[in-house]
Structure 1
Amino acid sequence: MSIKSTTVVAIAHNGKIAIGADGQATMGATVAKNNVRKIRKLNEGRVVAGFAGSTADAFTLLERFEEKLSAYGGNMKRAAIELAKDWRTDRFLRRLEAMMIAAGKDEILIISGTGDVLEPDNQIAAIGSGAMYAQSAALALKKHATHLSAEEMVRESLTVAADICIYTNHNFIIEVL
């Protein structure tokens, strides 16, 4: 599934996980809003999730994910797997067009409507139209700029994506666990 119209990136580095997203929402080729909050704290702040895709669809999925977190005692991986199962098989959910990155204190997961729950390599996850730009920057920063914090790496990765991707702006929201 290819989602355009945003960039979300998460990086685990030096015992911290940071997740951030830009704030741009588009309708076709037009910027509709430039300060959308695409990062949400869930499970009393123990999990942070970011989304790319249709905003209404993403909010539906975030609500379902939070329900799964509650049902499985905050076990993020189990909640993600159960959400992905429902998302793939439920007639209503199957039509939702979004992707999510979920981050807990020890892990980062990418969750998609095709049933994927992926633990990314290198402790870096990126989704959205600017994902490959942000991921490339994050990989380079993690390799060569180890003095930076996870939050600084996320900010720099989003900046690279925003400088290149027309669906990504420089209004960032970043959360750190």
Structure 2
Amino acid sequence: MTQVQSTTVLAMMHNGAVVIGADGQATFGHTVAKHNVKKVRKLFGGKILAGFAGSTADAFTLLERFEEKLQSYHGNMKRSAIELAKDWRTDRILKRLEAMLVVANREALLMVTGTGDVLEPDYPLAAIGSGSMYAQSAAMALMKHAPHLTAMEMVRESLTITADICIYTNHNFVFEALQNEDSKND
């Protein structure tokens, strides 16, 4: 699997909530080009969350294609991700794109790569980008040792730790969430 640099995106499912967070840094080579890029989105009427790492233009192309697949497959996230990965791997233009996606709904988290991989992680979290291993490690530790925290609190703290370590990750975070049914009534 390709390790995409220049960002960190972390998705987590915890206590009925689904959260994706990302930093806002965009780099051009070894220079920070922008500090507040929004790398997470709500798709399919707010039922699916997506985050991207890699080339921004490439990622937007993939997000558009993923949205088309969601429409074609009536919101079936897994099927849409698999079909996108097939296209990504075989299409002359798409296979040159340098980006990764993490997508989530209430049932699953998936990582979609340009090598044709659609991975559903063993744990209820997924991370992509240059800081992914830092964020994943921090999130796993929080899930184990601080399960009373909300998914949002865990994702925020994990990204904060990552931004303190990874030079391609900044502290300008953006989050999207699918709340559990109980919290919608509060």
TM-score range, shorter-chain basis? over 0.9
Per-residue deviation, residues 110-160 of structure 1 (Å, max 9, x unmatched): 000111111112111000000000000000000010000111110011001
Residue 35 of structure 2 aligns with an amino acid whose one-letter code is N
**Alpha-carbon separation, structure 1, partners of 2:43 and 2:123:** 24
Shift of 1:40: 1.1
Shift of 1:44: 0.9
Q: Aligned with 2:36: secondary structure?
A: coil
Partner residue in 1 for 2:158: 157
Shift of 1:176: 1.0
Task: Point out where structure 2 has 5 or more consecutive residues left out of the alignment.
Answer: 179-186
**Alpha-carbon separation, structure 2, partners of 1:2 and 1:131:** 9
Partner residue in 2 for 1:60: 61
**Alpha-carbon separation, structure 1, partners of 2:27 and 2:91:** 27
**Alpha-carbon separation, structure 2, partners of 1:71 and 1:135:** 32
With the length of structure 1 as denominator, give the TM-score of the two structures: 0.99
Asked whether 1:27 is paired with 2:50, we answer no
Moved runs in structure 1, 4+ residues, more than 3 A? none
Shift of 1:68: 0.1
**Alpha-carbon separation, structure 1, partners of 2:42 and 2:16:** 19
Shift of 1:2: 1.3
**Alpha-carbon separation, structure 2, partners of 1:142 and 1:89:** 38
**Alpha-carbon separation, structure 2, partners of 1:109 and 1:160:** 23
Per-residue deviation, residues 11-52 of structure 1 (Å, max 9, x unmatched): 111111111000000001100000000001110111110000
**Alpha-carbon separation, structure 1, partners of 2:177 and 2:43:** 13
Residue 136 of structure 2 aligns with an amino acid whose one-letter code is Q
**Alpha-carbon separation, structure 1, partners of 2:153 and 2:127:** 15
Q: Aligned with 1:163: secondary structure?
A: helix
Partner residue in 2 for 1:121: 122
Percent identical residues: 71
Per-residue deviation, residues 78-131 of structure 1 (Å, max 9, x unmatched): 000000000000000000000000011221100001111111121110000000
Q: Aligned with 1:114: secondary structure?
A: coil
CA RMSD of aligned residues (A): 0.5
**Alpha-carbon separation, structure 2, partners of 1:106 and 1:18:** 13
**Alpha-carbon separation, structure 1, partners of 2:62 and 2:36:** 20
Residue 7 of structure 2 aligns with an amino acid whose one-letter code is T
**Alpha-carbon separation, structure 1, partners of 2:67 and 2:20:** 17
Per-residue deviation, residues 58-91 of structure 1 (Å, max 9, x unmatched): 0000000000000000000000000000000000
**Alpha-carbon separation, structure 1, partners of 2:135 and 2:71:** 31
